[in-house]
Chains A and B, each alone.
Chain A
């Protein structure tokens, strides 16, 4: 058995209103930033899975991402395998 560490990044799907992203955009002029647009705010979860193989571990993460960490109706997710620091 090995430990595999992942990050799951969840973002609102394109076309879904993201009021947090919009609020950040509205704050940009206060920071005198004029060349930033299309801000989307999501969430990130990091987790460790103990499994026989990376494929088995990834299947667990994928299930969690679909069922719990994101709502497929409104959010999309990506999974990153994190490489441990030596």
Chain B
């Protein structure tokens, strides 16, 4: 199976994502921001970084790059798209996942390990997860998840919240000022998906926890989920 990773000018986690895919035993395919051609891949990762310098707002300029035309079409046919960190910001700006990512409540860049927990284990992006808290890094200045109260209620009712920040014991980090919630995200939301369930974004970096030598390989729960789901989608085409 082949899974694509987009490189925008300013991406910095594209190589980590390609590596995580290789570790999982699938063929990683580099996709370039200037071409809408997704090279027939079975799923797409939009990686972390600072696409186009994060000018104006993180993700907004990347949203208009040629590759995003291809990604939008791919998503419309049910193809799986995972946005990690900056990739999540790009998807939110493009309107492919709901909500917005605001400046961190602390005004500080958050670069450290946090704990997240999947909200559900039956999504294409969490199906291989154990359900226990995962220790993963965050590295962002604009990760404070925002949607208005009505939209937050709707997301929860539809099962569109995929990951939340938690304490080590798994309890939710609901207080936006506590350290376990690294950016002040509302309802401790770390990741969401669209209503169809095939496009998801999360701020933490599971691809950076892909091998034991990096600390843990716990992030592979997300990468493996994506690969399994992409395989099923490909087989059903």
- Chain A residues at the B interface, C-beta cutoff of 8 Å: 16-17, 19-20, 23, 43, 68-69, 71, 73-74
25 cross-chain CB contacts under 8 A: A16-B102, A16-B146, A17-B144, A17-B146, A17-B184, A19-B102, A19-B104, A19-B106, A19-B107, A20-B103, A43-B56, A68-B60, A68-B61, A68-B64, A69-B56, A71-B57, A71-B60, A71-B93, A71-B100, A73-B99, A73-B146, A73-B147, A74-B100, A74-B102, A74-B146
Complex partner residue of B105 from A19, A69, A71, A74, CB under 8 angstroms: A19
If over half of B's interface residues share one DSSP class (helix, strand or loop), that class is named, otherwise mixed; here it is loop
- Chain B residues at the A interface, C-beta cutoff of 8 Å: 56-57, 60-61, 64, 93, 99-100, 102-107, 144, 146-147, 184
The residues of A that contact B61 with a CB separation of less than 8 Å are 68
Instruction: For the complex, give the distance between the alpha carbons of A43 and B100 in Å.
Output: 17
Instruction: For the complex, give the distance between the alpha carbons of A69 and B57 in Å.
Output: 8
CB distance from A39 to the nearest CB of B (A): 13
Known: A19-B104, A73-B99. 11 other contacts (CB 8 A): A16-B102, A17-B102, A17-B105, A17-B144, A19-B102, A19-B107, A20-B103, A68-B60, A69-B56, A74-B100, A74-B102
| Contact of A23 with B56 at beta-carbon distance under 8 Å, contacts A68-B64, A73-B100 already known | no
Beta-carbon nearest neighbor of A45 in chain B: B56
